[in-house]
Amino acid sequence: MVSKLIIGVIGIQGDVSEHATSMKDALKYSNIDGIVKIIKKKEEIDEIDALILPGGESTTISKVLYKSDILNSISKRIKKSNLPIMGTCAGCVLLSSDLIYNSKNLKLLSAMDMQVKRNAFGRQKESFEKNIDIKGFTSPYNAVFIRAPVIEKVWGDCEILSKIEKKIVMAKQDNLLAVSFHPELTDDLRIHKYFLDMF
């Protein structure tokens, strides 16, 4: 008997339930037998087939992940290349290898060959929506940006998937996906489905 695919969503803060709902809908739409599990303990990392790092306050998320040793558990899975991860907004920051103006409080996973700048579009009041072109998508995607980071540059095997002018807002490396906006806040499931197609 084939076991169900288990997609984990880090449940510290941010749009946890929204990501869970979007992924459940994407699994159903893609006709994949799977479940979504909210992750709050390091032992649960070994039980999942893929992981979503949602948005929120990156310093807070990093601190909790580090203190709970979940960060270390994720890193071990990344080194084995057997944990596909989608990081959105703060999750995008955590996946990066280099952070502009980083403080010692923010521990990165250093999983993707990219440099990120936090809050690159401004504060909460500068939040906006914009139709963007994404590599492989046949029509524009309406992206929601809330205190969004920007991927300043990529190198090595990291591939740019989308830009706003010269600002990189989506990138991929192996089975890792970094998104600076919030796909869980729209009814468009294409990014969650794209992530499912990566593993």
List 19, 44, 182, 192, catalytic entry: 182
Q: Count of domains in the chain?
A: 1
User: Residue 14 — very low, low, confident or very high, per pLDDT cuts 50/70/90?
Assistant: confident
Estimate to the nearest angstrom the gap between the alpha carbon of 133 and the chain centroid: 18
184 included as an active-site residue: yes
The residue segments making up the domain with residue 78 are: 5-196
The span from the CA of 86 to the CA of 174, in Å, is: 11
The span from the CA of 68 to the CA of 71, in Å, is: 8
Q: Tell me the per-residue pLDDT of 33-55, one tens digit each, with 9 for 90 and over.
A: 999 999 999 999 999 999 999 99
Q: Residues 34, 25: contact at Cβ < 8 Å?
A: no
92 included as an active-site residue: no
Number of Cα atoms under 13 Å in the Cβ half of residue 87 = 31
* Domain of residue 66, CATH code: 3.40.50.880
pLDDT at 20 over 80: yes
Tokens 């959105």 belong to 88
List 89, 92, 158, 192, catalytic entry: 89
Q: Tell me the per-residue pLDDT of 85-133, one tens digit each, with 9 for 90 and over.
A: 999 999 999 999 999 987 677 999 999 999 999 988 876 666 899 999 9
158 included as an active-site residue: no
| Mean pLDDT confidence for 166-182 | 97
List 92, 158, 184, 192, catalytic entry: 184
